């Protein structure tokens, strides 16, 4: 089940992959280009078009600039760009510059930060239009469309929430750029999965459509967007109803790429 993935969402792009024999790409050149992108890319205009204004617009623009100019993050992006130019390399992460790093680093956040991140994700999921919500849960929404709809919703967050979310997001991206993905030990992972299942059972216990929802969880692609969206929202409600170590391990499990 996909996360909402609310990264700073201006559509910053680099040239697509080619073949190693066509051109020699130096890492230092890519890092330099990344740092210069804010100077000739209409980031502010893109974010304003999504609904950001005032202090929130400044925060969103600053977040993208900080991501592009951070040495750890820029170095990792450069490595991925170079790797994508080699033949027979899987380029599954090419859907975005920042999100793969945030995704990799989430499990290394402290318990409060990780919970905060998912509380914002939960709020975002509940604010998405039903169709886009369902397609997001089914991981079938095009990256460009996901960036647009989540960016529009992020623009409606209050300023303190957006500021803290961006701080945590940047920290996760730095972890993702510099450290291995944090994984629970097998026994802890199995226990976290059981804990999530019990929490979900409690959340669904009194719902008349419980059986239909359980069928949806078994194969989200076979249900409509409304049902998939509802299932995803209830799933996050269930997980965030947990507390303490159970909550933290459950969120680490959800954060493992």
pLDDT at 177: 96
Structure confidence at residue 41 as a pLDDT band (50, 70, 90): confident
What CA–CA distance (Å, rounded) separates 136 from 92?
17
pLDDT at 7: 46
Provide the mean pLDDT of the chain. Answer: 86
Is 17 a residue whose pLDDT tops 50? no
pLDDT at 179: 96
220 contact partners, CB below 8 Å, separation of at least 6: 1, 137, 138, 228, 231
What CA–CA distance (Å, rounded) separates 212 from 219?
11
The residue behind tokens 């059986």 is 211
pLDDT at 85: 63
Is 58 a residue whose pLDDT tops 80? yes
- Tens digit of each residue's pLDDT (9 = 90 or more) over 153-204: 889 999 999 999 999 999 999 999 999 999 999 999 999 999 999 999 999 9
By residue count, the chain amounts to 257
What CA–CA distance (Å, rounded) separates 213 from 41?
44
- Alpha helices for the chain (secondary structure H): 27-40, 43-49, 54-69, 71-84, 99-105, 111-127, 130-137, 143-154, 159-178, 186-204, 210-218, 225-240, 244-255
Tokens found for residue 60 = 């969103």
- Tens digit of each residue's pLDDT (9 = 90 or more) over 59-83: 999 999 999 999 999 999 888 878 7
């Amino acid at each position: 089940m996909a996360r909402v993935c609310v990264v700073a969402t201006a559509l910053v792009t680099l040239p697509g992959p080619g073949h190693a024999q066509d051109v020699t790409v130096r890492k230092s050149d890519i890092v330099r280009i990344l740092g210069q992108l804010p100077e000739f890319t209409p980031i502010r205009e893109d974010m304003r078009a999504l609904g950001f204004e005032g202090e929130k617009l400044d925060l969103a623009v600053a977040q993208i600039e900080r991501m592009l100019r951070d040495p750890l993050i820029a170095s990792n992006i450069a490595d991925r760009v170079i790797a994508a130019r080699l033949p027979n390399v899987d380029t599954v992460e090419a859907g975005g510059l920042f999100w793969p790093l945030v995704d990799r680093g989430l499990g290394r956040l402290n318990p409060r930060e990780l919970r905060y991140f998912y509380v914002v994700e939960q709020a975002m999921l509940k604010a998405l239009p039903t169709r886009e919500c369902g397609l997001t849960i089914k991981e079938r929404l095009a990256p460009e469309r996901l960036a647009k709809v989540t960016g529009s919703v992020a623009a409606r967050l209050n300023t303190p929430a957006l500021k803290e979310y961006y701080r945590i997001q940047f920290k996760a991206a730095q972890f993702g750029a510099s450290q291995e993905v944090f994984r629970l030990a097998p026994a802890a992972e199995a226990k976290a999965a059981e804990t999530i299942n019990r929490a979900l059972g409690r959340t669904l216990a009194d719902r008349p459509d419980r059986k239909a929802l359980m069928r949806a969880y078994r194969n989200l692609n076979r249900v409509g967007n409304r049902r998939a969206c509802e299932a995803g929202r209830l799933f996050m409600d269930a997980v965030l109803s947990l507390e303490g170590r159970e909550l933290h391990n459950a969120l680490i499990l959800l954060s493992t790429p």
